[in-house]
């Protein structure tokens, strides 16, 4: 097969993926369908960038995924995600500065979760080794030694992934990360027909598996629980050691709201996030309030959190915008738990007009001016976090 034929085979695989997402197990609503094709285009961009642009572990560079555009698998709106390819036979040095970043988790992985072989095989958290906001840091990957800032590269390691955490959403400089391979100054691998074919095959696998895996993942999760209720702790096989999740798939009429009530999770970090079905993309979280973390959420005097999922602003701080969608997913995260106590959110669907009688009398009013200030602060922070 020559280069042109190989390229034509690749583009046909994208066309076939477009046909696949119109089948019955994917959403059939016209808006969801349009979103699906946009998602497919961005998945192609994401994995072309990864598999073609980041295919050489001797010359590593971090790729930013799951930002405002290149999303898959329910990204956390409080994170920046970075990935670079690594080789277990080599040694790497990561240097950087935290700036306004509150914490990060560095994970060594076999592959991304939607791929057949995947899983986290080593990890490190910034606060565990004393890295704080504003600090400079240096971390070694692979090689000999047992220093606290050295992370092993076990056999089968394919990538190093970093999740940066931003709690207060300040308009300030985000973290910076650089990586270098310490074992070789080799030039990038030469371009060849075989290299391009290998990379395009990997792109095809990522695009197809990402689309089908995450759709099936959400369908299966929803089938195991009842709509408008949280389904208990959801464990991610071979995921991060300190990560905990709970899902609520909701379905709301235009005049309905979902009220969520839960005790404050016993953890360093917790948050609520809104996601679309099938594509598992985050709702737009700069110009809308579709995420709330422990620094942004009002906690009632009785030490409970009350969040309202509604189509229109109910005039309270803890509102999660639905983007006008009739159904979607709210995820509760609680990371770095201090105990094994699992949050048990209680939910109820009420008429929007009944919210004042459902919420406690001491629920503070959040007026249009406060909402505008909240949205302005979110936009200003995200402009810094995802700057070019």
**In 10 A of CB 193, how many CB atoms?**
11
Predicted confidence at residue 212, as pLDDT, reads: 98
- pTM of the full predicted structure? 0.95
Give the pLDDT score at 120: 95
DSSP-derived secondary structure for 87-148: -TTS-EEEEEE-TT--EEEEEEESS-TTSSS--EEEEEEGGGGT--TT-EEEEEESSS---T
pLDDT at res. 222: 97
* CB hemisphere CA count around 367 (13 angstroms): 1
> Where does the pLDDT of residue 236 fall: very low under 50, low under 70, confident under 90, or very high at 90 and above?
confident
pLDDT at residue 238, as a whole number: 63
Q: Could you write out the DSSP letters of every residue in 229-277?
A: SEEEEE--TT--TT--EEEEEEE--TTEEEEEEEEPPSEEEEEEEEE-T
pLDDT value of position 276 = 95
Residue 336 three-state SS: strand
Q: Residue 129 has what pLDDT?
A: 94
At 187, the pLDDT band (50, 70, 90 cuts) reads confident
b/e map 217-226, b = 16+ CB within 10 Å: bbeeebeebe
Dihedral angle, C-alpha 95, 100, 102, 105, nearest 10 °: -30
Binning pLDDT at 50, 70 and 90, where does residue 188 land? Answer: confident
Per residue in 115-172, pLDDT (tens digit) is: 999 999 999 999 999 999 999 999 999 999 888 899 999 999 999 999 999 999 999 9
**Which pLDDT score, from 0 to 100, does residue 184 have?**
79
* Domains in the chain: boundaries: 3-212, 227-385
217-227: per-residue pLDDT in tens?
999 999 999 99
Helix (H) or strand (E) holding 17: helix 3-20
In words, the CATH class of domain 227-385 is: mainly beta
What is the side-by-side strand order in the sheet with 346-351?
319-321, 304-310, 256-263, 346-351
Which tokens hold the place of 35?
């979103």
Two tokens, residue 348? 């109820």
The least confident of 48-52, 233-237, 331-335 is 233-237
* Centroid of chain to Cα 77: 6
The widest CA-to-CA distance across the chain, in whole angstroms, is 72
């Amino acid at each position: 097969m020559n280069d042109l034929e190989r390229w034509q085979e690749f583009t046909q695989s994208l066309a076939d993926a477009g046909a696949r997402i119109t089948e019955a197990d994917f959403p059939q609503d016209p808006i969801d369908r349009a979103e699906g094709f946009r998602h497919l285009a961005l998945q192609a961009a994401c994995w072309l960038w990864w598999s073609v642009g980041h295919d050489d572990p001797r010359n590593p560079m971090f790729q930013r995924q799951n930002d405002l555009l290149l999303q898959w698998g329910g990204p956390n709106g409080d994170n920046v995600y970075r990935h670079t390819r690594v080789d277990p036979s080599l040694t790497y040095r990561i240097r950087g500065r935290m700036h306004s970043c509150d914490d990060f988790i560095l994970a060594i992985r076999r592959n991304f979760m939607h791929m057949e072989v995947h899983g986290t095989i080593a990890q490190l958290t910034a606060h565990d080794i004393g890295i704080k906001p504003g600090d400079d840091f240096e971390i070694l990957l692979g090689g000999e030694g047992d220093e606290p800032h050295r992370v092993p590269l076990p056999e089968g390691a394919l990538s190093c992934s970093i999740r940066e955490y931003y709690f207060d959403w300040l308009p300030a400089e985000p973290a910076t990360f650089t990586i270098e391979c310490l074992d070789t100054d080799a030039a990038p691998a030469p371009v060849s027909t075989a290299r391009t074919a290998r990379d395009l095959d990997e792109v095809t696998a990522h695009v197809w598996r990402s689309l089908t895996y995450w759709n099936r993942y959400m369908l299966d999760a929803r089938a195991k629980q009842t709509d408008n209720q949280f389904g208990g702790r959801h464990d991610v096989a071979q995921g991060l050691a300190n990560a905990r999740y709970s899902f609520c798939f909701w379905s709301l009429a235009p005049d309905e709201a979902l009220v969520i009530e839960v005790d404050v999770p016993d953890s360093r970090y917790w948050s609520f996030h809104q996601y679309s079905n099938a594509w598992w993309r985050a709702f737009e979280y700069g110009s809308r309030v579709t995420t709330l973390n422990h620094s942004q959420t009002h906690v009632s005097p009785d030490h409970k959190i009350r969040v309202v999922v509604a189509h229109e602003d109910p005039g309270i701080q803890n509102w999660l915008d639905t983007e006008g969608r009739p159904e979607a997913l709210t995820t509760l995260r609680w990371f770095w738990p201090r105990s094994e106590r699992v949050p048990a959110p209680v939910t109820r669907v009420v008429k929007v007009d009944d919210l004042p009688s459902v919420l406690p009398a001491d629920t503070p009013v959040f007026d249009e001016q406060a909402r505008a200030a909240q949205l302005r602060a979110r936009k200003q922070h995200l402009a810094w976090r995802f700057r070019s």
